[in-house]
Amino acid sequence: MDLVKTARALASDKRVRILSWLKDPAAHFPPQADGDLVEDGVCVVLIAEKLGVSQPTATEHLKILAEAGFVRARRLKQWTFYRRDEAAIAGIKQGIAREL
């Protein structure tokens, strides 16, 4: 675990909101034409709309979360879908507890 990447990922309220929304995607996002919200993740377009930012800005936030291990990306057709990586998040929590 890279504590600096973890801290950077959590330093943005927008990224923390994304993680919160992805914890229960069906409660926070409408159904998608492609991909299941829970199994495949949420399309970056929907995340950008909910966050109130452009798609490239949302993609950058999600890239930072992915680099820190919080989310996984999956390509379906021309779209990228993101979902939380619960196993990695559990490991990150344990790593933070050990480091601090």
Nearest to 82 by CA among 33, 49, 47, 34: 47
pLDDT of 41: 96
Indicate whether 99 pLDDT > 90: no
Q: What is the CATH number of the domain that holds 60?
A: 1.10.10.10
pLDDT of 40: 93
- Quick one: how far is CA 61 from the chain centroid? 8
The domain of 17 spans 3-99
Residue 43, beta-bridge partner list: 81
51-70 pLDDT, tens digit each? 999 999 999 999 999 999 99
Please state, in angstroms and rounded to a whole number, the distance separating the CA atoms of residues 21 and 54: 18
Indicate whether 89 pLDDT > 80: yes
pLDDT of 6: 92
Count of domains in the chain? 1
65-83 pLDDT, tens digit each? 999 999 999 998 899 999 9
